[in-house]
Amino acid sequence: MTSTLDRIVKGAPPPDVSLDQVAQSARRESTTNLSQTRSRRDSITAPRPQSSSQSDPLNNLPSSPEQIKLNLLILESSLRAQYLCLHARLRLYLVLLAALTLWISTFTYLLFLRPREDGKGTGGSPYWVVDIAERLGWVGGLVTAGLLWGTGMWDRGIRWPRKWVNITNRGLRGFNLKLVVIRGPWWKEALGYLALLDPYGWWGHIKGMRFEFMPKDIEKSTLENKDKVGLWETGGRHGWIEEDVAPGGDVIKLLLLPKPFSPDFREDWDTYRHNYWEKENERRSQLRAIIKTRQKQLAKQEGGWLWW
Residues 87 and 160 both lie in one domain: yes
Q: Please report whether residue 28 resides in a domain.
A: no
Overall average pLDDT of the 263-286 stretch: 90
As a whole-number percent, the residues of the chain with pLDDT over 90 amount to 31
Domain boundary among 203, 227, 254: 203
Question: How far, in Å, are 36, 40, 42, 286, 302 from residue 46 at the CA level?
Answer: 11, 6, 8, 40, 57
Q: Please report whether residue 226 resides in a domain.
A: yes
Q: Domain residues for 125?
A: 65-203
Q: Which residues contact 193 (CB under 8 A, 6 or more apart)?
A: 91, 94, 95
Residues 104 and 194 both lie in one domain: yes
Q: Is the distance from CB of 237 to CB of 268 less than 8 angstroms?
A: no
Cα 113 from Cα 307, distance rounded (Å):
53
Q: Say how many domains are in the chain.
A: 2
Residues 215 and 196 both lie in one domain: no
Residues 96 and 151 both lie in one domain: yes
Query: How does 54-88 read in b/e, with b if 16+ C-beta sit within 10 Å?
Result: eeeeeeeeeeeeeebbeebbeebbebbeebbebbb
The number of CA neighbours under 13 Å toward the Cβ of 262 is: 4
pLDDT of 60 higher than 60 = yes
Residues 218 and 282 both lie in one domain: yes
Prediction pTM value:
0.69
Q: Please report whether residue 5 resides in a domain.
A: no
Range scoring the smallest mean pLDDT among 7-16, 83-92, 161-170, 288-297: 7-16
Residues 169 and 216 both lie in one domain: no
Q: Please report whether residue 150 resides in a domain.
A: yes
